[in-house]
Amino acid sequence: PLSSHLRTASSMWPCSFLDDHTRFAIIYGMKDKAELLDKLRAYRTLMEKQHAAQLKCLMSDNGGEYTSKALEA
């Protein structure tokens, strides 16, 4: 089943993450694309606590969302 933080009327940008190993998927609704780093951190924390797994690799559609210097930290 798909676990999701459902989009609200005020959320315009969907952000989804999928773990290839467990097939766990989650969708976050964002009001602004600048919230992406916060959503990625929330997903990482959730995976580490709920599935006892660490994020090792991040794959994207090369849209440029994950090119921030803040992600390198």
Q: What string of DSSP letters covers 5-72? A: ----TT--EEEEEE-TTT--EEEEEESSGGGHHHHHHHHHHHHHHHS----------SSSTT--GGGG
Token couple for 35: 């919230």
Mean pLDDT over 52-62 rounds to 80
Q: CA 14 to CA 28: how far, in whole Å?
A: 6
CB-based contacts of 10, cutoff 8 Å, min separation 6: 31
Task: Compare 35 and 2 and report the one with higher pLDDT.
Answer: 35
The 10s digit of each residue's pLDDT in 37-56 is 899 999 999 988 988 878 88
